Amino acid sequence: MGRTLAEKIWDAHVVRRADGEPDLLYIDLHMLHEVTSPQAFDGLRLAGRPVRKPEHTIATEDHNVPTLDIGNITDPVSKIQLETLRRNCAEFGVRIHSLGDPEQGIVFVVGPQLGLVQPGMTIVCGDSHTSTLGAFGGLAFGIGTSQVEHVLATQTLPMAPFKTMSVTVNGTLKPGVTAKDIILAVIARIGTGGGQGYVIEYRGEAIRNLSMEGRLTVCNMSIEGGARAGTIAPDETTFEYLKGRPHAPQGEEWDAAVEYWRTLYTDDDAVFDREVVIDADQLTPYVTWGTNPGQGAPLSSSVPDPADFADAVERAAAEQALSYMGLKAGTPLREVEINTVFLGSCTNGRIEDLRLAAEILRGRKVADNVQMLVVPGSAKVRLQAEGEGLDTVFKEAGAEWRFAGCSMCLGMNPDKLAPGERSASTSNRNFEGRQGKGGRTHLVSPAVAAASAVRGRLSSPADL
């Protein structure tokens, strides 16, 4: 029987297989940031162990960094965490891109732009959004701090096997519908636990037609559907993106790599444990109305009535969500007023996302009562956007042009919602308090974010 893409990559990384034990997998790339690594380095120090393969390891600073004045980290606890990472990297010989470095940024934006993320690789990071990096046709998954220490010490991880799921998106997306809408629709379909235990492979015409940026957005939110990893078979789009990047193979090595990468696809006779099919032609812009990413609906619909949920657990969750979100059942989502727009994060902080939003904001103004933050995913993205004049477009529209970091995706740095504030956010989690205590989050695409900024209500570009 044939194998799926994920199974091929898994098999190629098995260091040891024995009865009654999980497989021991080799890890090709380990990415670090300041939040989940300090206790792992402490563990190494206590045991007197070195980092086994510094040449497969790289660190950057993203969660705690300020985006307004990067020379001034006002929170002393954040400062200690960043300084701890710098000290650990110096002590253990790990490459780091710190605040102010041209390669600094969100770990999952930095990896691809350096060309370090390539097809067929196993990649880990102490961050659930490592799933992003499967977009290049590798196995990329988030791990906890004990596992970070394990990989630092051994460059391997014992892993229990995954099940495989295909999500096939057939047809063509309509104008104004983006990769973000695909993944929000997928999660609304399968639920936050639907992917538990699975690696998802995204397939089909609509996925093939996505740019690398779009594929990264889709794979990013695999974890929001409960899957630890999402992957997409590499193709010409992947190779084109990689060619010439600082860490892409060169010359004969490039040819050898591409020859191998072309073997990375699911065999025709391979069988997935679960299959989901979505019709791209039917998709419209999606937004979330609740407090988990599965509580989403088309923007053209209304806030659902909890009484309509057949399942008692889902009904209770919907009731709690509406209460927290301050929403009434039956309200058209287009009438929901927002006062903050966040464009950025590892989900939608890449150059293509900024271009799309800028195109909508060009010649328009952000509504008077709305604050819009535009936060590039990396220092490189910021420079590139400035080279294209996008910063001017955002500033002229009345949005704030910030430095790179995780920013308002999570309440770990100065960019937060105040209690009761409501955002249209291109990030990935709408949990209670995720963007600041008492803050209310609607997850949206960059196009919906920009249009909502102009109208002050959840909107799509077609409403302008």
Partner 1 sequence: MDKFTVHTGRVVPLRLSNVDTDQIIPAEYLKRVTRTGFGDGLFAVWRDQPDFVLNRTERAGADVLVAGPEFGTGSSREHAVWALQDYGFRTVLSSRFADIFRGNSLKAGLLTVLLPQEQIEEIWALTEADPTVELTVDLIERQVRIADRVFAFDLDDHSRRRLLEGLDDISITFQHLDEIEAYEATRPSFKPRTLPVPVA
Which positions from 48 through 107 interact with partner 1, judged by CB under 8 A? Answer: 49, 54-58, 63-64, 75, 77-78, 80-81, 84, 95
Residues 270-299 that bind partner 1 (CB under 8 A): 291-292
Smallest distance, partner 1 to C-beta of residue 304, A: 16
Residues 309-328 that bind partner 1 (CB under 8 A): 313-314, 316-317, 320
Residue 389 CB contacts under 8 Å (≥ 6 apart), including other chains = none
Going across the sheet that includes 229-231, the strands are 229-231, 198-203, 163-170, 274-279
Q: Which residues of 402-437 are buried (b: 16+ CB within 10 A; e: fewer)?
A: bbbbbbbbbebbbbbbeeebbbbbbbbbbebbbbbe
Residue with smaller CB distance to partner 1, 60 or 445: 60
Which string of x and - marks every residue 418-447 that binds partner 1 (by CB under 8 A)?
-----------x-xxxx--x----------
Rounded distance between C-alpha atoms, residue 95 and residue 425, angstroms: 32
* Residue 116 makes contact with partner 1 by CB under 8 A: yes
* Residue 340 makes contact with partner 1 by CB under 8 A: no
Residue with smaller CB distance to partner 1, 155 or 217: 155
Smallest distance, partner 1 to C-beta of residue 228, A: 5
Residue with smaller CB distance to partner 1, 89 or 453: 89
* Residue 24 makes contact with partner 1 by CB under 8 A: yes
Rounded distance between C-alpha atoms, residue 340 and residue 449, angstroms: 10
Size of the site for partner 1 (CB under 8 A): 84
Which string of x and - marks every residue 365-404 that binds partner 1 (by CB under 8 A)?
----------------------------------------
**Residue of 4, 67, 104, 147 that binds partner 1 (CB under 8 A):** 147
Residue with smaller CB distance to partner 1, 33 or 350: 33
Rounded distance between C-alpha atoms, residue 371 and residue 387, angstroms: 24
Q: Which residues of 359-388 are buried (b: 16+ CB within 10 A; e: fewer)?
A: ebbeebebbeebbbbbbbbbbbbbebbeee
Give me Rg for the CA atoms of the chain: 21
Residues 197-216 that bind partner 1 (CB under 8 A): 197
Rounded distance between C-alpha atoms, residue 417 and residue 410, angstroms: 10
* Residue 243 makes contact with partner 1 by CB under 8 A: no
